[in-house]
Structure 1
Amino acid sequence: MTRRFTAAPAPAPTIPKIPPTQVLGRLAALQAAPTATLKQQWRELFGKEPPPWNRAYIQSRLAYRIQELAYGGLKPETVDRLVALGEQLDGGNVVLRRIRADSRPLAGTRLIREWQGVQHVVTVRINDFEFEGRPYQSLSAIARHITGTRWNGWTFFGLRARGET
């Protein structure tokens, strides 16, 4: 009879509890901590390797995590409500969920493009764009007005690289 041994799964890392009295001190320490220290805290507080993103992202997520471990996270009812709202927006389609709902710049954003030595400024509004005091429904219409030729407005104003979909 042959015995087969299987490796036991590694135990889940123990995430430490953080006393509420330590929160402010730990949040302040994040500002001055070297990146290596931030990554080590990530491993301790999340139980996994830190993402390869910038310091500001890691620092902000650590700040949230410290407060979450000290004061508790979102209530289950809140999580359920957020999931339900997400389902309403995307119909439960995971692919749609990963696509930014609105790739349009925020209202109030000013798009500046120099064309043939002249600077052109477009203001993004809630439902349209304003150029030279007039409303336009699309950036392509504004690009056509400026150049006299057909352009993809997103490409003309540098919001999308040529060839991107």
Structure 2
Amino acid sequence: MKDSIARNSPNATRLLLAQAPFLAMLACAFFGVAYTSVSRHGMTFYWMILVPAFGLVCVATAWRENAEGAKWRAALLQALHWGAVMLAMNLALMADVERAMSAEASALVLLVILALGAATAGLHLRAWPIVIVGGVLAMGVPIFAWLEERTLLFALGGVGVAALAAMAISVRSRLSAARG
């Protein structure tokens, strides 16, 4: 039994590291909505930085997953896709549109755009973790709308649980390595 745990711990750590960019995508998007809900003001700059970060993860995935001849085409298509997402977010953040919505509603609209962008990017890449990110972001919209002011508490709690889980996996793998 202990041998199977020792063999599986490095795999669990590798799996966690492989999924880290996608978990970071989720954490950053949810943080943006949570912070906007608590602070009551828009975070235009944050969202405009988040979109290229999502795009970079998708371009890296496209680069890694495609054959040598298709890498540049896939990367270019992802860059164009995320440029369109950025344009959609800019349209939603235009002064006239933003004045018509509260900061919380604006953050939820941006989350919907980001979710759609991630899901379609993942489908084009056939990268299921990115599709899942888009789906989780989309499911987060009604949840955040319902939770309103409690979102920061829940987001921070989720980050804390994830950090504890990562630490537990790390400690377990180190103990297994020390014993083995």
TM range (shorter): under 0.3
Q: What's the TM-score, normalizing by structure 1?
A: 0.22
- Greater Rg over alpha carbons, structure: 1
Structure with the largest fraction of helix: 2
Larger RCO (CA under 8 A, 6+ residues apart)? 2
Structure with the largest fraction of strand: 1
Q: What's the TM-score, normalizing by structure 2?
A: 0.21
